[in-house]
Amino acid sequence: MFKKLGIQLYTVRDHMNTAEDIRATFKKLKALGYDQGQTAGCAIPFAEFGKIAAEEDFEIVGTHEDFRYLLENTEQAIKDHQALGTVNMGIGGMPGEFYASEEKTLEFCKYANEIGEKIKPYGMKFTYHNHSGEFKKFGGSDTMMDILLKNTDPETVSFVMDTYWIQHGGGDVCDWIEKFAGRIDILHLKDKKVTNWDGEIGEIGVGNLPWKKILDTAERTGVKTIVVEQDCNWTDDDAFKSAKISADYLAQFLDK
């Protein structure tokens, strides 16, 4: 069983604007059962952010940063990630231009490998977070996700697989975790509840995803870190209340 629970800090983004906000947010999240976080940008200098996280015993397990910043300013990005104390340097989504064709997706893979190779000597990996658009096909049998898997270096590029977006893209969550075995450093936990034809993001346990099966599959296939992310649809419009609902439900699967 997983021993720690993380949260994508985009979930509480409205409470991450100043050093004081960030410290208070870390304290609240710790009290709710979260020991780890993944950034979605830093509103204050990386070094200050990392210092506050360390003081609050809140581990930074990865980032979502701008792709061009990572590609074109890799040396500075390395220093910034070292200041955060994390080895997972990533992006929250593929820039739109690379969805246009298989050739463009392969171009993205080349860039991802370039970043990964540059940061490898520092013990870091480039991490990629999917949405549902990557489950489209360009005419052959492979989806974009298949192309990313086959054309990125497993030693330098890993994945932040997202349960909601796999389901949204028409895939089976456990099947895709199996397919990416050994390549998932962070698994994003999002539930999918049915309130309309398309389904909405919801707290863990309020939707229809099979969480025991998902977490058993994740553990068996070598997923390193589990991270709750709720972009929107918070209960009573309160991100912390939603974070508590998810943490309380997931407590049954943690070995603390």
Residue 128 lies in a domain: yes
Q: How far apart are CA 90 and CA 162, in angstroms?
A: 14
Residues 6+ apart with CB under 8 A from 189: 163, 204, 211, 214, 226, 227, 228, 229, 246, 250
Q: How many domains does the chain have?
A: 1
pLDDT of residue 177: 98
Q: How far apart are CA 54 and CA 85, in angstroms?
A: 9
- Tokens at 6, concatenated: 């993380």
Residue 1 lies in a domain: no
Work out the number of other CB atoms within 10 angstroms of the CB of residue 208: 11
pTM for the whole thing?
0.96
Domain with 140 in it: what CATH number?
Answer: 3.20.20.150
pLDDT of residue 158: 98
Residue 170 lies in a domain: yes
pLDDT of residue 199: 82
pLDDT tens per residue, the chain (256 residues)? 899 999 999 999 999 999 999 999 999 999 999 999 999 999 999 999 999 999 999 999 999 999 999 999 999 999 999 999 999 999 999 999 999 999 999 999 999 999 999 999 999 999 999 999 999 999 999 999 999 999 999 999 999 999 999 999 999 999 999 999 999 999 999 999 888 877 899 999 999 999 999 999 999 999 999 999 999 999 999 999 999 999 999 999 999 7
Residue 102 lies in a domain: yes
Q: How far apart are CA 101 and CA 147, in angstroms?
A: 11
Question: CA–CA distance from 132 to each of 99, 138, 143, 163, 206 (Å)?
Answer: 11, 14, 11, 10, 21
**Residue-number span of the structural domain to which 147 is assigned:** 6-253
